[in-house]
Amino acid sequence: MAIVETARQLSYQHRHSSEQRQARLLFIIAYPLCLLVAAARRLAPVGAAPRPRSVFAEARAIAGSVIPFAFR
């Protein structure tokens, strides 16, 4: 019984670390693209509302909001 529970726990830990690696990799890939999108949004004359965040923080927020959809 203990062997089965240990194997199940190792499987969960392995799966969790694998998902973390995949999320980091997706973030590394998506961040430069989101940085381009954030910079383009800043240069576009549409919507003259002031943006309190930096372009880098805005790109990080965009990437952070898009990546969870890859794991659904």
Residue 6 within any structural domain of the chain:
no
Residue 40 within any structural domain of the chain:
yes
In terms of residues, how long is the chain? 72
More confident: 7 or 25: 25
How many structural domains compose the chain?
1
Helices 55-66, 2-43: crossing angle, 10 deg rounding: 140
More confident: 44 or 60: 60
pLDDT tens-digit profile of 13-48?
777 788 888 888 999 999 999 999 999 988 887 766
Residue 56 within any structural domain of the chain:
yes
User: What residue numbers bound the domain in which 33 lies?
Assistant: 22-71
Residue 31 within any structural domain of the chain:
yes
